[in-house]
Amino acid sequence: MRSVQLRVFEHQQLKVGHSYPTCRSGEEATLEAHHVEALGRYHAATNTQVFELRHQGIKLRHFVGCLRVGPVSLEILPKLGQEEAGAGRDWHGLLVHMLQVVTGARLVQEQAAPLATRSGSLEELFLARFLEVTGRLLREGLVRSYREVEENSATFRGRLLVGPHVRANVARQERVFIAHAIHDADNLPNRALHRALERVARGVSARLASRAEAALMDFPEVTPGPIRPADWSILHRLDRRTERYREALTLARLILQEERPDLRWGDAESFALLFDMNALFERYLERALRGLSGVRVHAQRGRDFWVPTEGAGSRLKPDLIVERAGERPLILDAKWKIPSKGRPEDGDLRQLFAYLHAFDGEESALVYPRAHGEQVERGGRFLAGGRSGRMIFLDLFPDKGAARAGGGLDRPCLRRVREQLGESVGGVVAAVAAEGG
């Protein structure tokens, strides 16, 4: 059964018999009927929101990242790339850049990999980076901690568990049921890394799978089993000893986020590393704003605005609130779309109006990605209350001249994005930090 690895765009419709670019530059592959059948079985089993089934094809939705189901792999890029595919912009690079900024992972092409195996696919970038940072932790030595174990032993140590001892040893006077502490590597951070290594070892490229298997051979024995959602809340709270685990655990969580035990299509597994593009753009703006001096940024801060006489109330939750010294806050709403005819939608304006009054904001703004140079910022005021709003268009490829002069593609630059945001939120100066740029 022929496998394909396609590079496509969110909201794109894919049809059987049509050819699409692959992750290798200049190459194309054809989507075949058995590819769509595998995607259909995946859709039926998972009720995924990533795509819709269509006649002889699928329609992608607002998710980006990578999805592999049996013989078909999809790398899904932002939708603006579809509209300007020939405009000299590196949309794959933009997605990698935004994910680096948001996750903190250093997703760079492995220079040590053979040229023939360098597909540059997002899946391989993530998994290779996870293997690299986890391998480093193994070489440095994994964190060990104390944990209590219970056992029916021939020697006494720790403390006696009276109830279990009576039940288990009424006729076995030579044994005692005890609880005692041991010091080993069987703790939650290491179990999460081990689980993610097992996931990578099942069904990725042979090169990465063999590296994952080698790491598992070096891994100390830990308790097997899935990592529950509640466990990630615990893992998020790192201490002095586990701070060096941060990037590895971030990547492990992404690898395991769609984990479904025993979900298989014949002999091949599914693998998903997907992000809601609207949420990704919002979090990217948040990280960029946090690099500015003179402002405080709050993401998704909620406030009640409707309290019924009975039943549940309703809350307003703007994307971003920017506080500046001595001024009322600026409310920002991230919109990963191109406004029709250069004007905001009425629903978006009503949302801004509600945010302004609920949070006593001075001004509000809708923040869009800039798709072309004709998009200009526009302002206005709400007649009720006299407060203002505006549209901000953020150029995610701000270094066009330098890139073109070097003969390359336009590339994203976090430092320049911060400068644009600094001017937009009131002339504050961008901090020196330029990570991800």
**Residue finishing a domain among 184, 214, 244:** 184
165-169, 246-250, 264-268, 276-280: least confident range? 264-268
Is pLDDT larger for residue 251 or for residue 203? 251
Give yes or no: residues 301 and 417 share one domain: yes
pLDDT at position 433: 41
Residue 289 parent element (H or E)? helix 277-289
Token pair listed for 399: 């270094």
Q: Is residue 354 part of a domain?
A: yes
- Would the pLDDT of 400 be above 70? no
The label of the residue with tokens 């195996």 reads 117
Label residue 174 exposed, middle or buried (CB < 10 Å: 0-12, 13-18, 19+).
Answer: exposed
Q: Are 366 and 278 in contact (CB under 8 A)?
A: no
pLDDT at position 81: 54
Q: Is residue 246 part of a domain?
A: no
Which residues lie across from 29 on neighbouring strands? 20
Q: Are 431 and 293 in contact (CB under 8 A)?
A: yes
**Residue finishing a domain among 163, 184, 205:** 184
- Would the pLDDT of 431 be above 70? no
- Would the pLDDT of 430 be above 70? no
Q: What is the pLDDT of residues 111-137, one digit of tens each?
A: 444 433 345 688 888 899 999 999 999
Q: Are 184 and 141 in contact (CB under 8 A)?
A: no
Mean pLDDT of 207-215: 90
DSSP summary character for residue 372: S
pLDDT confidence tier of residue 374, bands split at 50, 70 and 90: low
Which residues lie across from 321 on neighbouring strands? 298, 331
Task: Determine the Cα–Cα distance for residues 244 and 37; give it in Å rounded to an integer.
Answer: 43
Q: What is the pLDDT of residues 2-49, one digit of tens each?
A: 888 899 999 999 999 999 998 877 789 999 999 999 999 989 888 888
Q: Is residue 209 part of a domain?
A: no
Of all residues in the chain, what percent carry a pLDDT higher than 90?
35
pLDDT confidence tier of residue 266, bands split at 50, 70 and 90: very low
- Would the pLDDT of 158 be above 80? no
**Beta-strand (E) ranges in 248-351?**
264-265, 268-276, 295-299, 303-306, 314-316, 320-324, 330-334
Token pair listed for 91: 């949309």
Task: Determine the Cα–Cα distance for residues 375 and 246; give it in Å rounded to an integer.
Answer: 39
pLDDT at position 263: 44
Mean pLDDT of 136-142: 94
Give yes or no: residues 178 and 297 share one domain: no
Q: What is the pLDDT of residues 78-112, one digit of tens each?
A: 977 555 544 567 888 889 999 999 988 887 654 44
User: Which of these, 150, 152, 149, lies nearest to 168 by C-alpha position?
Assistant: 152
Q: Is residue 196 part of a domain?
A: no
Give yes or no: residues 175 and 297 share one domain: no
DSSP one-letter string for 151-174: EEESS--SEE-HHHHHHH-TT-TT
Q: Are 53 and 22 in contact (CB under 8 A)?
A: no
pLDDT at position 325: 81
**Residue finishing a domain among 128, 156, 184:** 184
pLDDT at position 320: 93
Q: Is residue 414 part of a domain?
A: yes
Is pLDDT larger for residue 341 or for residue 328? 328
pLDDT at position 375: 73
Q: Is residue 31 part of a domain?
A: no
Token pair listed for 403: 């890139």
- Cα 158 to its chain centre, rounded Å, is 44
Which residues are within 8 A (CB) of 144 and not within 5 positions of it... i.e. 6 or more apart? 183, 184, 185, 187
Give yes or no: residues 295 and 419 share one domain: yes
Q: What is the mean pLDDT of the chain?
A: 82
Task: Determine the Cα–Cα distance for residues 155 and 4; give it in Å rounded to an integer.
Answer: 60
The number of domains in the chain is 2
Mean pLDDT of 263-277: 68
pLDDT confidence tier of residue 197, bands split at 50, 70 and 90: very high
Q: Is residue 152 part of a domain?
A: yes
User: Which of these, 50, 44, 47, lies nearest to 67 by C-alpha position?
Assistant: 50
pTM higher than the cut 0.75? yes
**Beta-strand (E) ranges in 70-196?**
72-77, 145-153, 159-160, 176-184
Q: Nearest 5°: CA angle at 288, between 285 and 292?
A: 130
Q: Are 260 and 231 in contact (CB under 8 A)?
A: no
Token pair listed for 80: 């603006």
- Would the pLDDT of 334 be above 60? yes
User: Which of these, 87, 66, 88, lies nearest to 77 by C-alpha position?
Assistant: 66
User: Which of these, 125, 274, 100, lies nearest to 204 by C-alpha position?
Assistant: 125
Q: Is residue 351 part of a domain?
A: yes
pLDDT at position 114: 40
Which range of residues forms the domain containing residue 172? 145-184
- Would the pLDDT of 264 be above 80? no
